[in-house]
Amino acid sequence: MASSPRRTVVCSVLPLLLLLAGAARAAGNFYQDVDITWGDGRGKILGGGDVLTLSLDRASGSGFQSKNQYLYGRFDMQIKLVPGDSAGTVATFYHADGISLSLSLLPLLLDEGQGDLMHARRFYVDGTPIREHRNREAATGVAYPRSQAMRVYASVWDAEEWATQGGRVRTDWSRAPFVASYKGFAASGCASQDAAACARSNGAWMYQELDATALDRLQWVQKNYMIYNYCTDTWRFKDGAPPECATKFFRRCLPAFPSPPAALLVAGGWGNIRFRCEGLVRGLLLD
């Protein structure tokens, strides 16, 4: 199968600050907002730009990227996952060089950013926070994506070699093509590569925090739906867990569930996804 032109490194499980792509946020038009970048026609924009579908078959998956690059911001998307028996398929929505939500759901954290302005990334599904990744680079040495502008990406691809119990459950290709649908994309952020300029932004997403209720909901998701935590995966990390696993914060805030809970994302229906990339000016970073 042809592979995606971008390399994704799985460092953690379940990222994105996902939130309702609700009526209060005006959705964009896919013709104006994104480019379909691979898939040889397997990606299609429908409904005059309201809906975008990505499909996967034995030959290839497909994907798209935002036309703009963003340093900080809030990004909403409604996603309808591949219906039925979709074992081995992965539908994603993510920031390159940053955090990814693979709807499995499997979150990915990529640590290729440089700089020191970003202070938190948060991910929500249907308004429920599922992960918060804070900038603790100064204290832990764990790299944090903070100053490199990134595009928003989405893709559907074949992951049967590792996503289904190490490949023991194979993809039923007789059901192909596997199709995931996207709509309601809304981006509100700093479309710039100038970290200092973005830090002066007055966007509401720049300074918001999770309150006690939101933190309780995040912990509820972890307690009730987390079935894998890479920090405890001794088979994969035989020489010890990654450095971020040593902090209490990361142990608490790394939820991951390969199958989204029905209460958050109904199979065959639209799930509301949001992630927010936030920043504070130099000297005001949270530890």
Question: pLDDT for 155-169, tens place per residue?
Answer: 999 988 766 666 677
149, amino acid identity = A
**118-125 sheet: strands from edge to edge:** 43-46, 51-56, 178-189, 73-80, 270-279, 118-125, 128-134
Nearest to 155, CA basis, from 240, 43, 275, 254: 43
Question: pLDDT for 95-142, tens place per residue?
Answer: 765 444 444 444 333 333 333 334 455 666 767 777 777 777 777 777
How far is the C-alpha of 77 from the C-alpha of 86, rounded, in Å?
Answer: 21
Place of tokens 């691809």: 157
DSSP state of 173: G
- What are the b/e assignments for 109-139, b being 16+ CB within 10 Å? bbbebebbbbbbbbbbbbebbbbbbbbbbee
The pLDDT, as a whole number, for residue 2 is 43
Instruction: Report all structural domains of the chain as residue ranges with CATH numbers, in order of start.
Output: 30-279 (2.60.120.200)
The pLDDT, as a whole number, for residue 124 is 62
Measured from the Cβ of residue 242, the count of other Cβ atoms closer than 10 Å reads 16
**Percent of the chain surpassing pLDDT 70:** 54
- What token pair was written down for 275? 């992630």
Q: Greater confidence, 68 or 189?
A: 68
Question: pLDDT for 251-280, tens place per residue?
Answer: 333 333 333 433 334 344 555 555 544 433
How far is the C-alpha of 186 from the C-alpha of 142, rounded, in Å?
Answer: 30
pLDDT bracket for residue 3 (50, 70, 90)? very low
Question: pLDDT for 167-225, tens place per residue?
Answer: 677 889 999 999 999 999 988 877 776 766 776 666 665 666 778 888 888 788 778 87
